[in-house]
Chains A and B, each alone.
Chain A
Amino acid sequence: DQQVKQNSPSLSVQEGRISILNCDYTNSMFDYFLWYKKYPAEGPTFLISISSIKDKNEDGRFTVFLNKSAKHLSLHIVPSQPGDSAVYFCAASYQSGGSYIPTFGRGTSLIVHP
């Protein structure tokens, strides 16, 4: 029972264009959402996050949008660069026992073509 779903296992985009990665969740208790980026043979690296009190958070080329009513979030990368090619994990969490333990999706592999 996947509580965090990334339904697109892969995405191919041309350099300079927008990349849009999508994520859906089912647990209404989730109130903090994160995106991680992972290169081969490395651990995931935190990219950007958003709290449920917001619907948008922007950091440079990266913007995360949250639609609570649809239980959907997306990561926009503009403009996409070849170095953005990686696996992107969506994660969702809520406070339990004093900590936020993220639940991860299966990831979307992004390939940015020069």
Chain B
Amino acid sequence: GAGVSQTPSNKVTEKGKYVELRCDPISGHTALYWYRQSLGQGPEFLIYFQGTGAADDSGLPNDRFFAVRPEGSVSTLKIQRTERGDSAVYLCASSLTGGGGTQYFGPGTRLLVL
């Protein structure tokens, strides 16, 4: 069966550019999460969607980061005016429900900002 997929798998961009990272969750999963994993660290929570709405965006580091999930399925994480410190692996996870359900992770998008 199809798991969580993320595109692109790798993204190289220049400082100051805009990037979009896409996540396709498991079909039927209502909850979707974005995490960022820097080198040598564990995944760090960014934002959580329940359906189409962002139920918790407390992990977004600043207003350059924004995420949408307009139809309650695919989600896009958008980063404006990228900085070198944004370089990390961006992980997406989905779960059947949001209340503590098991999260299934995608393979991640490796973002490198030069």
Number of cross-chain contacts by CB at 8 Å: 59
How many Å from the CB of A27 to the closest CB on chain B? 14
Interface size on B, residues (CB 8 A): 26
Q: Quick one: which of B42, B44, B99, B105 contacts A45, CB cutoff 8 A?
A: B105
Q: Which residue of B lies closest to A32 (CB)?
A: B100
Whether the pair A103, B93 counts as a contact (CB closer than 8 A) is no
Complex Cα distance, B43 from A6, in Å, reads: 13
Whether the pair B48, A43 counts as a contact (CB closer than 8 A) is no
Binds B, one of A13-21, A62-70, A77-85, A92-100: A92-100
Whether the pair B99, A100 counts as a contact (CB closer than 8 A) is yes
Q: Quick one: which of A4, A6, A97, A100 contacts B100, CB cutoff 8 A?
A: A100
Residues of chain A lying within 8 A (CB to CB) of residue B91? 43-44
Residues of chain A lying within 8 A (CB to CB) of residue B108? 43
Whether the pair B56, A101 counts as a contact (CB closer than 8 A) is yes
Contact (A44, B107) CB under 8 Å given A98-B98, A106-B41 = no
